[in-house]
Amino acid sequence: MGWIRNWRRRRVLEQQAILPQAWDGVVAGLPLLGGLSQDEIVRLRELATLFLHEKSLEPVQGLELDDRMKRVVAAQAVLPILNLGIDSYHQWQSLVLYPDEFVTRQEWMDEDGLVHARRDILSGEAWERGPMVLSWADVAAAPEIDGYNPVIHECAHKLDLLNGSANGMPPLHAGMDAEAWRDVFSAAYEDLCHHVDARRETAVDPYAAESPAEFFAVTSEHFFETPHALMRAYPEVYRQLASFYRQDPAGRIPA
């Protein structure tokens, strides 16, 4: 039934596409998109249109979400899949937006049967086959290019989850070497953990040392926001991400 889906998408792009003037305003407000070619900007607008048509953006706790805010979210969400396609996000439909950071509570039982609980204050979260959750306050900080981008971070988790678990290894494309990916990311992750444990300054956000899944998500943020810094710190990681995302931000963003 793929032809029906494609027909519907063509209709959406013909009749409900984000207007060029409105889209130009989004692009102008996001330096992250500044190095894209005109063709890429057009394709990004089409993907953002489909994203807003196929995903449900759900504000909570009194957040008032207008069309401009939705476009800002969508533009960042589809940047990682610019050359992968909207079907890369087929496993989830909802994006929940809080006004600011939100609190989560987790419970688990240890091997002795004791139940533990933990409260975390988060700016984003991605659930397996569930919604993606974001803090609008953090999303709104997108114009600052600093290697921190919660939208890209959580979208990277969603891509990682396509193989059923968040483990830092999303399903790779034909022609990519899974063993090479594991070797490169494992070595870089261990190196970062070593520097973090030694309390040394790192080029990559130390949060990446939390787990291989967080390392993939955080390096994805750096890949799109500060590609030259990532390339200097972990050139092989950059090359693997360039193959996975089929993009080369370092080639379009001045050093």
Q: For position 131, what pLDDT does the model report?
A: 87
pLDDT in tens, 81-112: 999 999 999 999 999 999 886 545 444 344 65
Q: How far apart are CA 36 and CA 23, in angstroms?
A: 14
Q: Which residue has the tokens 């984003």?
A: 124
What does the CA dihedral 159, 160, 164, 166 come to, rounded to 10 degrees? Answer: -140
pLDDT in tens, 10-22: 999 999 999 999 9
From the candidate CATH numbers 3.40.390.10, 3.40.640.10, 3.20.20.70, 3.50.50.100, the one assigned to the domain spanning 167-255:
3.40.390.10
Mean pLDDT of the 115-142 span: 68
pLDDT class of 1 with cuts at 50, 70, 90: low
Cα–Cα distance measured from residue 45 to residue 32, given in angstroms and rounded to the nearest whole number: 14
Domain boundaries, the chain: 167-255
3-state helix, strand, coil in the chain (%, to 5): 55, 15, 35
Give the E-state strand segments of 89-248 in sequence order. 94-98, 102-109, 115-122, 124-126, 132-135
Separation of alpha carbons 4 and 53, rounded Å: 15
DSSP class of 164: S
* Distances 237 to 30, 117, 187, 234, 243 between C-alpha atoms, Å: 25, 35, 10, 5, 10
Distance CA 70, CA 57 (A): 8
pLDDT for res 93 = 94
Distance, in Å, from the CA atom of 158 to the CA atom of 165, rounded to the nearest integer, reads: 10
Quick: pLDDT tens for 39-68. Answer: 999 999 999 999 999 999 999 999 999 999
Write down the mean pLDDT value for the chain.
Answer: 89
* Full-model pTM: 0.90
Phi and psi of 98, rounded to 5°?
-90, 155
Torsion sign across C-alpha atoms 216, 156, 237, 146: negative
